[in-house]
Structure 1
Amino acid sequence: MSDTPGTDTISIAADIVGVDRVSPDGPGANTGLFRQRKVFGTVRPRTADEVRRLVAAYAARSVSLHAYSTGRNWGLGSREPADDDVVVLDLGSLDEIREIDVDAGWAVVEPGVTQGQLAARLDGTARMLNVTVSSAHSSVIGNALDRGVGLRHQRVEDLMGLEVVLPDGEVVRVGWWPDAHRQTPVYPHGLGPSLVQLFVQGNFGIVTGAVVRLLPRPEALRVVRLNFQSAELGEATAQLRRWQAQGLVSGVLKFYNPAAARGYGSTPGEWLAHVCVDGTPAAVAALSGIIVDEAVRSGVFTDVSNTDAADPASPHHEVTALVERSYLGDPDVTDTVFEAKMGMPADQLDERIGFLFFLPLLPFTPEAVVKADELLERVREETGIACGATGNVLGPDVVDLVVTLKFDRSDADVAHRALDLVYESFTEAGFLPYRLDVDHREWFDRCGGQPSERAFTRRLKDSIDPAGTIAPGRYF
């Protein structure tokens, strides 16, 4: 906590939310072991109107704010601000699903609404949520605003409208919102500039609500599981890309290096791929059969199966069944797969484990995927940190590569050196990050688009938030 005027600063919030909702403490430990910033304290508002009043009060006193949804931004900072001397807003108590329309395919949710909470409301309906493979207790809005990747596509594609408190306390709604007097198609862009994306990785305001698109639930779904050796990485990538480019794949095709594949019970030392196919029962049977036949004929894969989830005798039955349910919008409230990957429950990560993320984009080519694997092997040779890598295929040309660095907390310095090496080597190869952790903010100027674009972004920030009230230093 900072020195004075900390006590006076935090007392401003007590007058708005009540003494019991204010603490002089910071946001607590973070699993990445990033430097803990000095803060004036933590405030836990319960309503969007309280957030509005807090922003207006602190803006009038030139005090900056850092807001988080549920704080599960693991590996990138968790709840940690980017700068010192801020008031932290914990929005986890804004956990209302305000409205939902299953027929039209939308829900209005607040920042504290988790993917497990929203998925439960959709259980048994014809609609589903685009869930991630993270904990069921992570925020829908928080992850989408930082460009998290779900099992169907990037979650920013699900943001139809946002309710935002601007730095002066004004509340605006952008994008598509339900109209009580007329029903319009759910579409975020409308007339004029499309402003929803302005607030994605943009510290121009605090989001207190969002319209989230709900997806049609497929009639049938199957996941084809494939294993292959490291020596076949290039050939396997070429085969996976062909299926993606020719429209055989539904949702996000995923592949895992041996370190990441362990969490799914894969054969030690082998790579793993999950290829999802959905649609009508006849289409699923035909397409999954085609993929299995081609995979076997290719000779690239050591094991090929499209029956694991349906076959209780399969050694991969339980985990594959959970994977298929995730593709169907069930984030698994028991966190079974998540705990298998992490080795402990979600609420213990920040206190017990060392964990870092690096998130670059790669061309979906054999050459790029092999190169990325070679770069991670160099990091292991130089630091001893064996990085996990999960490829989320976003189309025939782009892979979102999730690089994970798990480490003993006593080895934090070595792990952070490994993270720096990953940043340097991947960007030099042209594999630029699309999300940043709280200690690598300067990479916005190294990777954040053209110089003129970055300058224009900062002009917008200075115009909208001249006092730097909202999340100073977060991305720009």
Structure 2
Amino acid sequence: MTTSQTTDAGAALAAVEGIVGADRVTRGGLGDNTGLFRQRDVLASVKPGSAEQAREVVSAIAAARGAVSVHAFSTGRNWGLGSREPATDTVVALDLSDLTAIRDIDVAAGWAVVEPGVTQGQLAGLLADTERMVNVTVSTAHSSVLGNALDRGVGLRHQRVEDLVGLEVVLPDGELVHVGWWPEQDRKTPVYPHTLGPSLVQLFVQSNLGVVTGATIRLLPRPEALRVVRLNFTPDNLGAATDLLRRWVTQGLAAGVPKFYNPTAARGYGSAPGQFLLHVPVDGTEAAVAALSAIIAEEATRSGVFTEVSTTDATDPTAEHHAVTSLVERSYLGDPDVTDRVFEQKMGMRADQLDSDLGFLFFLPLLPFTAEAVVKAEELLARVHADTGILAGGTGNVLGADLVDLVVAMKFDRADARAAHRALDRLYELFSEQGFLPYRLDVDHHGWIDRVGGRPSARAFARRLKDSLDPTGVIAPGRYL
């Protein structure tokens, strides 16, 4: 930084302290991250106590004339992709975790207005024993609903970005705008995110065009009944199992997001070594669930593909996998389990220990939902293991008849960080060569956006929008723009 920039940055931080209080400004970096990514040059971390303070902080940074930029995060639990860490240096981190208000909610109409610090456990708890539920993820109950949705995280019902119907955004000049659907005091309108004209909500998903300080989230109808059919199979039947699962999805037998786990990932759910695991959720009325689960179980058994087929793990207290399957079913019904039992079983520790004690990386590509693609992806994971010694868990989230979100998770000893990051680099290379492109990036691979982020003309257009809205770079370059 030049002397002038240092002066402007210092003045901006002094102004920020005047807005939020000196006790809410911490000079220096953001601490450990579980991915062991390089720690960036963070001038300070600012923790506003309200959305209005967050807006004023952005305005104060804008006055610094490009000397420093804002990097915003919600609860900081973007594990495996960088946690709280920005993609670039010389930033002020805007920690929105204290913005925990559920400002408004209408259960009957199916919406809630939430701030970035609202966790899925918090919102789910408010909806307990109602006809509505949250589209939860299998991460900790203490993760942000809004932060994950803005990064296109995947819930157990669908991709969470589909739950965003309206956003409150602080633009780079400090102006506050509302886009999409927002509740009105004097009349009730249908919950519909697009309004007339261009649909603006998606402009602020995976972007640095503004800081989101609130959102209207869609609340989903809670099924009357739900069951998860649990199936195990050996690696040689991966293609056949994929074909069967796709048939059940395309013919409407499965609901929500069916999931398949390779043997490394399946161990977290109690499967025997060497076994793949498949969870097929069905929901609806009691009669529909009984009929659909029976059809799937009968077809699965008749196929000879599976080593284990069960529709009663959650309801039979004597079943070997009763405890974990019960929690899985509750998650599909919008209960993220505030005790984090499944999460801690998979990760081996509490959520608040990950950044300091665990080595953990994510790679998140999209696959065609075909047997050929799924088998090829598992072959690539085996190749990375052979090349680097890092064993990856693979969880396939089925997002419809044609698409799978593959969550590749690598837990590693922190002393092996170099090998783990080599494995991450190889995953980017090998999967991209096959056309299996990532839909989320980590902080060290944000430069890949021009390689895997769509056509050059689209990228150029996005940058023109950025330059127009934020000519001095008030909002820091992120992982996607």
TM range (shorter): over 0.9
Written as runs of structure 1 = structure 2, the 5 A alignment for 1:62-461 is 62=66, 63-461=68-466
Distance (whole Å) between structure 2 residues aligned to residue 11 and residue 123 of structure 1: 44
SS in 1 for 2:439: coil
The Cα shift of 1:471 comes to 2.6
Task: Give the Cα separation in 2 of the matches to 1:26 and 1:361.
Answer: 33
Q: Percent identity?
A: 71
Q: Deviations over 1:348-372 (max 9, x none)?
A: 0000010000000000000000000
Q: Gaps spanning 5+ residues in structure 1: where?
A: none
Q: Secondary structure at the match of 2:282?
A: strand
SS in 2 for 1:442: helix
Contact kept, 8 Å, 1:31 with 1:351, in 2: the verdict is yes
Q: Pairwise CA RMSD of aligned residues?
A: 1.3
Q: Deviations over 1:139-170 (max 9, x none)?
A: 00000000000000000000010000000000
Is contact 1:2–1:85 with CA below 8 Å preserved after alignment? no
Q: Deviations over 1:93-123 (max 9, x none)?
A: 0000000000000000000000000000000
Q: Is the 8 A contact 1:112 1:139 kept in 2?
A: yes
Which letter maps to 2:271?
A: S
Contact 1:2 1:38 in 2 (8 A): no
Q: Give SS of 1:416's match.
A: helix
Q: In 2, distance between residues paired with 1:318 and 1:169?
A: 49
Match in the other structure for 2:477: 472
Which whole-Å CA distance do the structure 2 matches of 1:2 and 1:303 have between them?
A: 66
In structure 2, the partner of 1:41 is 44
Aligned counterparts of 1:463 and 1:348: Cα–Cα separation in 2:
41
2:21 is the alignment partner of 1:14: no
For 2:44 and 2:184, how far apart are their aligned partners in 1? Answer: 39
Question: 2:59 corresponds to which residue?
Answer: 56
How many residues are aligned here?
476
Which residue type is aligned with residue 345 of structure 1? R
CA contact (8 A) 1:204 1:464 kept: yes
Give the counterpart of 1:24 among 24, 27, 33. 27
Shift in Å, 1:405: 1.1
Which amino acid in 1 is paired with 2:343? Answer: F
Structure 1 372/264 Cα, relative in aligned 2: closer, same or farther at 3 Å? same
Determine helix, strand or coil for the equivalent of 2:444. Answer: coil
- 2: CA distance between counterparts of 1:398 and 1:235? 17
Conservation of the 8 A alpha-carbon contact between 1:7 and 1:40: no
**What's the offset of the Cα at 1:2?**
12
Compare 301-310 and 11-20 and name the one that shifted more: 11-20
- Is the partner of 1:273 in helix, strand or coil? strand
Separation in structure 1 between the aligned mates of residue 333 and residue 479 of structure 2, nearest angstrom:
33
Assess, with a 3 A threshold, how the Cα gap between structure 1 residues 351 and 17 changes in structure 2: closer, same or farther: same
Instruction: Provide the rounded CA distance (Å) in 1 between the counterparts of 2:402 and 2:61.
Output: 45
1:411-448 deviations in whole A, cap 9, x for unaligned? 11110000000000000000000000000011100011
- The SS at the match of 2:362 is strand
TM-score for the superposition, normalised by structure 1:
0.99
Q: In the aligned structure 2, how far is the partner of 1:403 from the partner of 1:241?
A: 21
Aligned-partner Cα distance in 1 for 2:182–2:14:
35
Counterpart AA for 2:348: G
CA distance in 1, matches of 2:478, 2:130: 42
Task: Report deviation, 1:467.
Answer: 1.0
- Cα distance in structure 2, aligned partners of 1:2 and 1:21: 27
The runs of 5 or more residues in structure 2 that have no matched partner are none
Q: Closer, same or farther in 2 for the Cα pair 1:357/1:2, shift >3 Å?
A: farther
Kindly indicate whether the alpha-carbon contact (under 8 Å) linking 1:160 and 1:187 is maintained by their aligned counterparts in 2. yes
How many angstroms does 1:12 deviate by? 2.3
Separation (CA, whole Å) in 2 of partners of 1:108 and 1:278: 27
Verify the 8 A CA contact 2:12 2:60 in the aligned structure 1. no
Question: SS of the residue aligned with 1:16?
Answer: helix
Contact 2:180-2:200 within 8 A present in 1 as well: yes
- Residue 475 of structure 1: CA displacement? 1.1
- Shift of the 2–386 alpha-carbon distance from structure 1 to 2, 3 Å rule, reads farther
**What amino acid does structure 2 have at the position aligned with 1:56?**
S
